[in-house]
A = this chain, B = another copy of it.
Amino acid sequence: MGIHASFEHFTRAAFGADPCAMRNSGLEAIAAPMAIERGRAAMIERSRDQIVYLLSGATKLAAAVSDDREQIVAFHFPGDIISIPADGVHSYLLAALANTEILVFPAREFFDIAAGDEAMARRLFDVLPSALHRCRDKAVALGRQNAAERLAGFLIAMAERIGRLEGSGCIIELPMSRRDISDSLGLTIETVSRQLSHLREAGLVETQGRSQVAIPNLEMLTRCAGHYAA
């Protein structure tokens, strides 16, 4: 997709704004469209914060913690607006789970423009707190839940974001590998695999190939996620 088509898609879908109205904002001038092949990391400037709009595909945002281990802090799907931190205590990278198209903006300039545009600001005040709250829920899972609860919570979250309902249940086509799942849940591949087997044996999920997961009863799985009600 070219820069103009990408940008129009972006303004319309993300801000409900007429692209013509955004022409003079200077936003298009700082937008860098990029295509990322499945499995590759986006080549993004890491000395400053960046904002990314996900046009198509799916990505993960991960911190490198050692040569052969990472911690994924978020998965993203088309339409998502992603804030990517500059290198700090950890170094983050955005990698594609499938062939992906994105629009990259330097965060400072992006926010400068957004601060003066009510529609953009409004949308960002929806998106940023949501990302923050999701990240907090993840921190809670990583800090205080066991492997079984984390996996159940992960599947429920994926069901809500990319599952298609099927009666009282749901079918998910997972775009990420077991390694990605384990890197997201702060576990190992083996533990994820074992927990998934337990869920299978308990009849809470069924799997088809590597990526399809069926949840016959969402509520029963939700009960496994250990979400405490005060």
Identify the A interface with B (CB < 8 A): 49, 61, 63-66, 69-71, 73-74, 83, 85, 88-92, 107, 111-112, 114-116, 118, 121-122, 124-126, 128-129, 131-133, 135-140, 142-145, 153, 185-186, 225-230
B-chain residues with CB within 8 Å of residue A88 when the two chains form the complex = 133, 137
- Copies of the chain in the assembly: 2
Specify which of B61, B69, B228 is in contact with A66 (CB 8 Å cutoff).
B228
A110 to chain B, nearest CB (A): 9
Specify which of B65, B91, B124, B140 is in contact with A71 (CB 8 Å cutoff).
B140
Q: In the bound complex, what is the Cα–Cα distance between A85 and B132 (angstroms)?
A: 9
Q: Are B115 and A116 in contact (CB under 8 A)?
A: no
Q: Are B140 and A73 in contact (CB under 8 A)?
A: yes
B-chain residues with CB within 8 Å of residue A229 when the two chains form the complex = 91
B-chain residues with CB within 8 Å of residue A64 when the two chains form the complex = 228, 230
Q: Are B125 and A115 in contact (CB under 8 A)?
A: yes
Q: In the bound complex, what is the Cα–Cα distance between A69 and B64 (angstroms)?
A: 30
Q: Are B89 and A144 in contact (CB under 8 A)?
A: no
Specify which of B85, B145, B228 is in contact with A136 (CB 8 Å cutoff).
B85
Q: Are A139 and B135 in contact (CB under 8 A)?
A: yes
Q: Known contacts being A115-B121, A118-B116, is A143 close to B140, with CB within 8 Å? A: no
B-chain residues with CB within 8 Å of residue A225 when the two chains form the complex = 89
Q: In the bound complex, what is the Cα–Cα distance between A145 and B225 (angstroms)?
A: 23
Q: 19 A-B contacts, Cβ less than 8 Å apart? A: A63-B136, A64-B228, A65-B140, A65-B144, A70-B144, A71-B143, A85-B133, A88-B133, A89-B227, A92-B136, A111-B122, A115-B118, A115-B122, A116-B118, A116-B121, A125-B128, A128-B129, A128-B132, A135-B136
Sample of 17 further A-B pairs with CB below 8 A, known A71-B140, A142-B142, A142-B143? A49-B133, A61-B136, A63-B136, A64-B230, A65-B140, A65-B145, A73-B136, A89-B137, A89-B225, A90-B227, A90-B228, A116-B121, A128-B128, A132-B135, A139-B139, A139-B142, A143-B186
